[in-house]
Amino acid sequence: MPLSISDRRLEISHENGIEAIKASTFIQDEWEAHSMTDTKRVTGIGGIFFKARDIATLSAWYRDHLDIQVGDGHYAVFRWNGTESSESGQDAASGLTVWALFPHDTAYFEPGNAPFMINYRVADLDALLEQLRSEGVQIVDRRQESDEGRFAWIVDPEGNCIELWEPAPGQ
């Protein structure tokens, strides 16, 4: 069961120092119970994709104003390394995040209805899909495997399509 924090608990934490400690302790206990019983789900953001009416113009805008070097394939790659430690105390893995533009009429984001899609990195795609299926999450009947790794798609309660990516070794 995903961790949830109600608005009431957040209100309490801002009004009274003693109650804030109690709320924080409760939240920490709930988080520890959650993390100890579930498989690691998302390990990072693998990509951010969005639709564009004019890819060339939008690519130039991001290049000129934000220095995002969009290549001929209409994407940029941000590489990151594991020099900082993760919360577990172990070195974080190296990886990459892809930033990409898609034509405004692409079917790639279907069955989602948003003009964007987020790709989340996952450690074990099969185990995660099994867990999500048991929780009643809508899983799109489509899979992809490539040199970059394995992909699957789910849909959140608001109709946003989400791409899950288990990177190939070295990605």
Domain that holds residue 29: 7-37
Rounded Cα distance, 36 and 28, in Å: 12
Which helix (H) or strand (E) covers residue 127, if one does? helix 125-134
Segment-wise mean pLDDT, segments of 10 residues, the chain, 171 residues: 35 37 40 47 93 95 93 90 55 80 95 95 96 96 96 96 93 72
Answer yes or no: do 70 and 154 share one domain.
yes
Answer yes or no: do 65 and 108 share one domain.
yes
Reading the block at residue 124, the tokens are: 């074990």
Split into its structural domains, the chain has a count of 2
Rounded Cα distance, 86 and 83, in Å: 9
pTM value is: 0.70
Answer yes or no: do 21 and 66 share one domain.
no
Answer whether residue 27 is part of any domain: yes
Answer yes or no: do 81 and 109 share one domain.
yes
Distances (CA, A) of 170 to 61, 148, 167: 32, 9, 8
- What pLDDT, on a 0 to 100 scale, did the predictor assign at position 72? 87
- What pLDDT, on a 0 to 100 scale, did the predictor assign at position 17? 41
- What pLDDT, on a 0 to 100 scale, did the predictor assign at position 82? 67
CATH of the domain at 93: 3.10.180.10
Answer whether residue 2 is part of any domain: no
DSSP classification of residue 19: H
- What pLDDT, on a 0 to 100 scale, did the predictor assign at position 68? 94
- What pLDDT, on a 0 to 100 scale, did the predictor assign at position 83? 59
